[in-house]
Amino acid sequence: MKLSIKSIVLFVAILGVADFGNAQEARFPQASSGQTLVQDFGLGKITLTYSRPNVKSRKIFGGIEPMGVVWRNGANAATRIKFTDDVKIEGKDLPAGEYSLFSIPGKNEWTIIFNKTADQWGAYDYKESDDVLRVKVKTIALKDKVETLTMQFSSVNETSAILNMMWENSAYAVNITTSIDEKVMANISEAMKGDKKPYFAAAQYYFQHGKDLKQALEWMTEAEKSDPKAPWFKLWKGRIQLKMGDKAAAAATAQQGIEVAKAAKVDEYVRLNSELLAEAKK
């Protein structure tokens, strides 16, 4: 029987589907490995997902990735970044949400782009009209070559962090900040109305952020009542007293902290309370 071209094409297509179904059971390594970073930040998180190509003896920036052209910050799908809270990027507002992260490499500076279409492949369908924010940062020259594209968060504090990109001999650093004080103060106020009052954490926050130290001392004293033999309560109470200028009270509290820490065999708090005692005696 003579088959028509149409029949042959249909047969090959069916065969291909069958082979594809079998192939789905096989697993192969990705040419560019994927990585997802989840960074605690402020009262929320930053999630970064990207693919990590290797240099493989190629010229990257100014080569396979031309200068002045939008780049997906990796391989495969566009790099994605998600913020659970509002942030500032290089001092400019960026609302909470998920974005695709693009960049434009340059010899002296990079343009970093946050685009509202988070789910897209490469930069093929990238639309500048969908950009939510663009900032410029300086190009950083690396002495040692970075073979595998690396992105990371560094210098992470409560309200600030740096997003770093390093590949080949180029890098950039993007400053990210957020504001939490208003939310934390509101959270403390609301929590103090409940049955489980966060005396310890609230007192620590007041101490660390220049709030009412008298209130902090009252809360730490209340926290101390829950476990009078806990050396950490003594430590923080003494720190608050010292910051208030009451060296005698701080020294007495630190001494108590040393004694309960020794009894509990908690060497770390023996050391910390001893350091506080020395500071109070200056």
Q: How far is CA 77 from CA 6, 100, 183, 279, in A?
A: 36, 9, 35, 55
Extract the tokens encoding 141: 């020259």
Rounded Cα distance, 156 and 177, in Å = 10
Rounded Cα distance, 81 and 74, in Å = 13
pLDDT of residue 130: 97
**Three-state DSSP state, 278:** helix
Extract the tokens encoding 17: 């589907």
CB atoms within 10 A of CB 201: 15
pLDDT of residue 101: 98
Rounded Cα distance, 171 and 167, in Å = 6
Q: Are 10 and 3 in contact (CB under 8 A)?
A: no
Q: Are 238 and 268 in contact (CB under 8 A)?
A: no
Rounded Cα distance, 183 and 177, in Å = 15
SS3 per residue for 138-163: ECEEEEEEEEEEEEEEECCCCCEEEE
Q: Are 123 and 145 in contact (CB under 8 A)?
A: no
Per-residue confidence in pLDDT tens, the chain, 282 aa:
444 444 443 444 444 544 545 556 788 778 889 999 999 999 999 999 999 999 999 999 999 999 999 999 999 999 999 999 999 999 999 999 999 999 999 999 999 999 999 999 989 999 999 999 999 999 999 999 999 999 999 999 999 999 999 999 999 999 999 999 999 999 999 999 999 999 999 999 999 999 999 999 999 999 999 999 999 999 999 999 999 999 999 999 999 999 999 999 999 999 999 999 999 999
Rounded Cα distance, 152 and 81, in Å = 12
pTM for the model stands at 0.82
